[in-house]
Amino acid sequence: MRVIYAVIPAGGSGTRLWPLSRAGHPKFLHPLTGSTASLLQATVDRLGPLTTAERTLVVTGTAHVAAVARQLASVPEENILVEPSPRDSCAAIALAAAVIARRDPEAVMGSFAADHLIGDPQRWREVVLEAVRGAERGLLMTVGITPTRAETGYGYLQTGDPVDGGPLRPVAEFKEKPSAEVAEAYLRSGRHLWNASMFVWRVDVFLAELARQQPALHAGIVAIAEAWGTEEQDDVLGTVWPTLPKISVDYAVMEGAATAGRVATVPGDFGWNDVGDFHTLGEVLPADADGNVVLGADAKPGVLLRDTTGLVVVPHSGRLVAAVGVHDLIIVDTPDALLVCPRDRAQDVKKVVDELKERGEEGLV
Amino acid sequence: MRVIYAVIPAGGSGTRLWPLSRAGHPKFLHPLTGSTASLLQATVDRLGPLTTAERTLVVTGTAHVAAVARQLASVPEENILVEPSPRDSCAAIALAAAVIARRDPEAVMGSFAADHLIGDPQRWREVVLEAVRGAERGLLMTVGITPTRAETGYGYLQTGDPVDGGPLRPVAEFKEKPSAEVAEAYLRSGRHLWNASMFVWRVDVFLAELARQQPALHAGIVAIAEAWGTEEQDDVLGTVWPTLPKISVDYAVMEGAATAGRVATVPGDFGWNDVGDFHTLGEVLPADADGNVVLGADAKPGVLLRDTTGLVVVPHSGRLVAAVGVHDLIIVDTPDALLVCPRDRAQDVKKVVDELKERGEEGLV
């Protein structure tokens, strides 16, 4: 089995998972997996057969690097790349690619979000290995998710006909989050996949495409990479990083590369979930006979549920959570904030966070 | 204005107000009044124009006497009577009556629960003064509540025709909590009042009736009262109290006295509420424009309500309580337990407490 480099951008605060997820302790640091592993740890575990700790790199912010370093004790310190400030995904991924390229210029790297759940890791690894084969042929590969519903919350990949009868399909276009009507059409087409921001490519191919489409960003990253590991590293990073364009890798590189015919995808069907909100979380974690999901069910004193169905309960404060006669509610109990919200309003949790910011309650977000 | 003795039996844990009300910190100690006063303090305040601190007696249990003493700083220590163990209301009230009788054998006393709300205290005092006039004539008086609905959760007083065209009516019978059908008939009859366990009588009249109907209880109370204030007090109380019959004053004395034609009542209409559960509490406290009631609305960080109606929220843990898109729910947040329950299931909160006891979670009840 080919050993790839794995890059894990660990950013984003998971606003819709408030009050569990906070700016200071975001989604990927939490055990939302039904086990004691955090989403970040589960991501590393899932990569186990595809890479090694020495070839695993995490890109994270200054606020979370200490927690990341402790959660991932096996990852070497020099593989934990710290962004001095958030510059969106292109800068983060490009930095990792450039650092890897200094070690192995033709290395294949895969980039995988730190905060997604995969129900069938074995199947996922098989799909990633198909993508690795495409990457070795010089393609910028993505792993697309076979849609199961007309989701309006994700971007889509519009694909062409399979290549050589294999699993690879060219990606004709990256599509923004669609309207409900368009999403229905995508679902019916059979040609559209969810864009889960999983990428696999040779670092030299990616960096060349970056140079072609984003020359300024490329030049900055190259300057940083040349200073990497020298005593100049901090100075160069501190000077150059803030000048880098704040842009997503999809928009900066992948869309243009797709237009140029350089992007392909492998459709995957492995129980992917981006754990975007508590309703979604409730759909992937095991429920009791009444459809209640308790995250951290072994917490003490835990929960007392009477005549409840379809709840998502997070007893995360060490207090008893008692619910009587309620249905399809989200109840999230943390040491300094409590949330009660119907599952079909799970998206609106973001609005609570916005309102708290307006109130100046930064300590609670 | 006649100055009466006021007796406040302060017992009962208010199980349906869990998790706010606990065995160790029951309902009457909590500020459920919309102000910072506890129900107990509000009871004493309401009595202000009718009595003095020197003529106010509280009967309470060993577990709560310290809190009672601190909440009622003006009540003399010797007026805080401590039951060594719970013996129901007859023993508690009889002890107070006997202690008062030693100070003033013909005193009029009124007994008023520590954990009820009165919307119109001035009107209430007027009704009590009507009852005092009946007591002075040798009647065992009650204050009955004009029913506003066919309530099945209260006992009723069945009254006869008004006496001499005044507000007094004889009480023919004490009725147990009725079925829904019977309650409807009571409501239609115009002759039935809610029994709110408010009593007004001359202590000598009450003690004589106690001696007639409950000679053993009377003898025990007399023995205790004779030792009261002497160095024998603790010994006699400790020896005799546990032998007293455990019986309510309604059942022990008032029912038989009514049959003997010695009980009358004054109907009252002064916004009485027994604050039995959170739904009821929500009905008496001021609501916002959307019908949400927040008990302790000035708590910090308090609550954040979005698209909610009809809530009863108790933010009592110092944490933020955020609710989105929920309606007619009770949300009670305390330092070690959280309750979420629809208002129409408010009665079932008792079952949660029962289940916690079964689990051995005594620390939470």
pLDDT, tens digit (0-9, with 9 covering 90-100), for A333-364: 999 999 999 999 999 999 999 999 999 998 89
Supply the pLDDT for residue B175: 94
Chain B, nearest residue to A313 by Cα: B340
Supply the pLDDT for residue A35: 81
Which residue among B317, B336, B340 places its CB closest to the CB of A323? B340
Supply the pLDDT for residue A80: 93
Chain A nearest CA to B363, separation (Å): 11
Q: Tokens for B330? A: 């009770």
Output the average pLDDT for chain B.
93
Single-letter amino acid, residue B247:
I
Q: From residue B68, how far is each of A241, B26, B29, B193, B275 by CA, in Å?
A: 64, 11, 7, 31, 19
Higher pLDDT, A35 or B43: B43
Supply the pLDDT for residue A1: 54
Could you give the ipTM of this predicted complex?
0.75
Q: Where are the domains of chain A?
A: 5-273, 287-364
Tell me which of 3.40.718.10, 3.20.20.70, 3.40.50.620, 3.90.550.10 is the CATH number of domain B5-273. Answer: 3.90.550.10
pLDDT digits (tens, 9 = 90+) for B184-199: 999 999 999 999 999 9
Average pLDDT on B255-271 reads 95
Share of chain B above pLDDT 70, in %: 99
Residues from chain A contacting residue B301 (CB–CB below 8 Å): 337, 361, 364
pLDDT at A129 over 70: yes
CA B98-B104-B110 angle, 5° bins: 65
Task: Give the three-state DSSP class for B111.
Answer: strand
Residues from chain A contacting residue B329 (CB–CB below 8 Å): 326, 340
Supply the pLDDT for residue A320: 95
Read out DSSP for A163-228?
A: STTSS-EEEEEEEPSPPHHHHHHHHHHS-EEEEEEEEEEEHHHHHHHHHHH-HHHHHHHHHHHHHT
pLDDT band at B1 (very low <50, low <70, confident <90, very high): low
Q: Tokens for A206? A: 């990616």
Supply the pLDDT for residue B217: 97
Chain A, nearest residue to B345 by Cα: A325
**Spatial distance between the Cα atoms of A263 and A174, rounded to a whole number of angstroms:** 10
- How far is the first Cα of chain B from the last one, in angstroms, to the nearest whole number? 43
pLDDT at B275 over 70: yes
Residues from chain B contacting residue A320 (CB–CB below 8 Å): 19, 336-338, 356, 361, 364
Single-letter amino acid, residue A165:
G
Greatest pairwise CA separation for chain A in angstroms: 63
Say whether A336 and B348 touch across the interface (CB within 8 A): no
Supply the pLDDT for residue B126: 96
Say whether A340 and B349 touch across the interface (CB within 8 A): no
Say whether B342 and A325 touch across the interface (CB within 8 A): yes
**Spatial distance between the Cα atoms of A340 and B169, rounded to a whole number of angstroms:** 50
Q: Tally Cβ neighbours within 10 Å of residue B1.
A: 9
Supply the pLDDT for residue B2: 64
Chain A nearest CA to B323, separation (Å): 5
In chain B, at which residue ranges do the beta strands (DSSP E only) sit?
5-10, 56-61, 80-83, 108-111, 117-118, 140-145, 156-159, 169-175, 192-202, 263-268, 272-273, 293-294, 303-306, 312-315, 320-324, 329-333, 337-342
Read out DSSP for A102-147?
A: HH-TT-EEEE--TT-EES-HHHHHHHHHHHHHHHHTT-EEEEEEPP
- Is B336 in contact with A285 (CB distance < 8 Å)? no
pLDDT digits (tens, 9 = 90+) for A191-222: 999 999 999 999 999 999 999 999 999 999 99
pLDDT at A323 over 80: yes
Q: Tokens for B321? A: 């309580």
Residues from chain A contacting residue B338 (CB–CB below 8 Å): 319-322, 331, 333, 338
Residue A193's beta-bridge partner residues? A157
Chain B, nearest residue to A329 by Cα: B326
Supply the pLDDT for residue B332: 97
Say whether B331 and A340 touch across the interface (CB within 8 A): yes
Output the average pLDDT for chain A.
93
pLDDT digits (tens, 9 = 90+) for A168-183: 999 999 999 999 999 9
pLDDT digits (tens, 9 = 90+) for A232-252: 888 899 899 999 999 999 999
pLDDT band at A60 (very low <50, low <70, confident <90, very high): very high
Chain A, nearest residue to B344 by Cα: A325
Chain-centroid distance, C-alpha A18: 17
Chain B, nearest residue to A323 by Cα: B340
| List of residues 6+ apart from B108 with CB closer than 8 A | B2, B4, B5, B132, B135, B136, B200, B201, B202, B203
pLDDT at A2 over 70: no
Say whether A326 and B337 touch across the interface (CB within 8 A): no
Enumerate chain A positions whose Cβ falls within 8 A of a Cβ in B. Answer: 19, 301, 304, 306-307, 317-326, 329, 331, 333-342, 345, 348-349, 351-352, 355-356, 359, 361, 364
- DSSP assignment, residue B286? -
pLDDT band at B164 (very low <50, low <70, confident <90, very high): confident
- Is A68 in contact with A80 (CB distance < 8 Å)? yes
Residues from chain B contacting residue A321 (CB–CB below 8 Å): 337-338, 340
Single-letter amino acid, residue A278:
F
C-alpha torsion sign, points A124, A125, A127, A128: positive
Supply the pLDDT for residue A4: 96
Supply the pLDDT for residue A297: 76
Chain B nearest CA to A289, separation (Å): 19
Residues from chain B contacting residue A352 (CB–CB below 8 Å): 304, 306, 322, 324
pLDDT digits (tens, 9 = 90+) for B74-131: 999 989 999 988 899 999 999 999 999 999 999 999 999 999 999 999 999 999 999 9
pLDDT band at A163 (very low <50, low <70, confident <90, very high): confident
My answer on whether omega of the bond before B267 falls inside 30° of 0, hence cis, is no
